[in-house]
């Protein structure tokens, strides 16, 4: 089994839920886990990973991984919202995965709402993490295509096309397919009602 993994997908594809379930199952089997989340992610709570389906798990909250080391008996580390960490943090995870009998599972977004890859996500690809795409469908009513992008909206319902890459929260986001992203963000092409 690979020792460094990246589970990625759009918002709402159950990344956090899968992390929590994975940790539960490993702990039940006697494999100690550690759950980490970035300090910037305080959408639902300050010190836990929370899924929209109503399950949660306690987490260690860190601004970065500079001074963190897994406990000696830890068998698996699960990190939520990995895109909010830095490439340097990814390099530390690589060192841990390559020097200790620990499996590291990272969960997060690949690209932002301006179709730009997050630096930490890019670094995971560069260092050869095993990639696992988590799928969900487009949130445009009637469309059943694979969601691959995010649209970010302002308070007036207009698509945001610039600004900071990191904006925590998802109340003004939609996960959409590539075709709807190109239509609504770039103004390219048309889609018939129902996403066909």
Per-residue confidence (pLDDT) for residue 167, from 0 to 100: 63
Q: Does the structure show a pLDDT above 80 at 109? A: yes
Best CA proximity match to 105, nearest among 148, 145, 57, 168: 57
For the chain, give the mean pLDDT.
Answer: 90
Report the alpha-carbon distance of residue 83 to residue 124 in Å, rounded: 10
Per-residue confidence (pLDDT) for residue 40, from 0 to 100: 87
Taking only the tens place, the pLDDT of each residue in 154-169 is 888 899 888 776 666 5
Per-residue confidence (pLDDT) for residue 82, from 0 to 100: 97
DSSP state of 177: -
Per-residue confidence (pLDDT) for residue 195, from 0 to 100: 44
Q: Does the structure show a pLDDT above 50 at 114? A: yes
Give 60's contacts (C-beta < 8 A, 6+ positions apart): 34, 35, 36, 37, 68
- The answer to which of 13-17, 161-165, 189-193 has the lowest mean pLDDT is 189-193
CATH superfamily of 4-133: P-loop containing nucleotide triphosphate hydrolases (3.40.50.300)
Per-residue confidence (pLDDT) for residue 168, from 0 to 100: 60
Q: Which residue has the higher pLDDT, 188 or 141?
A: 141
| DSSP SS3 for 181 | helix
Q: Count CA atoms within 13 Å of residue 145 on its CB side.
A: 17
Query: And the tokens for 61?
Result: 């909250």
pTM of the predicted model as reported, rounded to 2 decimal places: 0.89
Report the alpha-carbon distance of residue 138 to residue 181 in Å, rounded: 10
Per-residue confidence (pLDDT) for residue 196, from 0 to 100: 41
Taking only the tens place, the pLDDT of each residue in 57-108 is 999 999 999 999 999 999 999 999 999 999 999 999 999 999 999 999 999 9
Report the alpha-carbon distance of residue 173 to residue 126 in Å, rounded: 28
Best CA proximity match to 118, nearest among 151, 78, 162, 86: 86
Out of 81, 126, 135, 192, which one is annotated catalytic?
81
Would residue 135 show up in a list of annotated catalytic residues for this protein?
no
Q: Count CA atoms within 13 Å of residue 104 on its CB side.
A: 23
């Amino acid at each position: 089994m690979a020792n460094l993994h990246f589970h990625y997908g759009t918002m709402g594809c159950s990344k956090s839920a899968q992390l929590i379930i994975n940790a539960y199952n490993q702990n039940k089997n006697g494999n100690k886990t550690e759950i980490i989340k970035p300090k910037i992610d305080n959408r639902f709570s300050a010190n836990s990973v929370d899924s929209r389906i109503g399950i949660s798990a306690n987490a260690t909250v860190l601004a970065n991984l500079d001074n963190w080391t897994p406990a000696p008996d830890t068998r698996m580390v699960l990190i939520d919202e990995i895109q909010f960490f830095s490439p340097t943090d990814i390099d530390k995870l690589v060192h841990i995965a390559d020097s200790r009998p620990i499996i590291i599972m990272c969960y997060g977004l690949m690209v932002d709402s301006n179709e730009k890859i997050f630096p930490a996500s890019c670094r995971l690809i560069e260092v050869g993490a095993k990639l696992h795409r988590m799928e969900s469908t487009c949130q445009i009513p009637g469309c059943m295509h694979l969601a691959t992008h995010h649209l970010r909206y302002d308070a007036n319902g207009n698509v945001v096309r610039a600004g900071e890459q990191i904006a925590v929260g998802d109340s003004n986001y939609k996960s959409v397919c590539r075709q709807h992203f190109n239509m609504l963000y770039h103004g390219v092409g048309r889609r018939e009602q129902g996403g066909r």
